[in-house]
Amino acid sequence: MPLVEDYGFGRIVIDGKTYTSDVKIIGEKVVPNWWRKEGHHLYPEDITDILASDCEVLVVGTGAYGVMKVDPRVEQACAEKGIKLESYRTAEATKRFNELVQQGVKVAGAFHLTC
């Protein structure tokens, strides 16, 4: 499972590779250049691949300053699939993601890198 090695405004390092646009981590796969329907909102249709995965927990990084808002329908969609949703500013979200990986939890991550 990939680990987040570093995060700073607009930049994230996952398993030695630097990404400068929003990313998702689903299982062993890093999905770069993640675009959402609306940049600062997260809707269920933005994470259909995560909802279809076998993850137990979804950790959302809402940006350096927490600007991205998680729509209540995301919480509902996760609950329907039995996925626990956790949402934090991205610096904290990356730490939580790594903790869960190291505990052997099937976790997915969705990280907004800027605001």
Q: Tell me the pLDDT tens digit for each residue of 83-92.
A: 999 999 999 9
Q: Tell me the pLDDT tens digit for each residue of 10-53.
A: 999 999 999 999 999 999 999 999 999 998 999 999 999 999 99
Q: For residues 8 and 106, what is the distance between their CA atoms, to the nearest angstrom? A: 25
What per-residue confidence (pLDDT) applies to 2? 96
Residue 71: pLDDT over 90: yes
The secondary structure element, H or E, covering residue 80 is: helix 72-81
Residue pair 69/41 in contact (Cβ under 8 Å)? The answer is yes
Of 28, 9, 3, nearest to 113 by C-alpha is: 9
Domain 4-111: give its CATH code: 3.40.1230.10
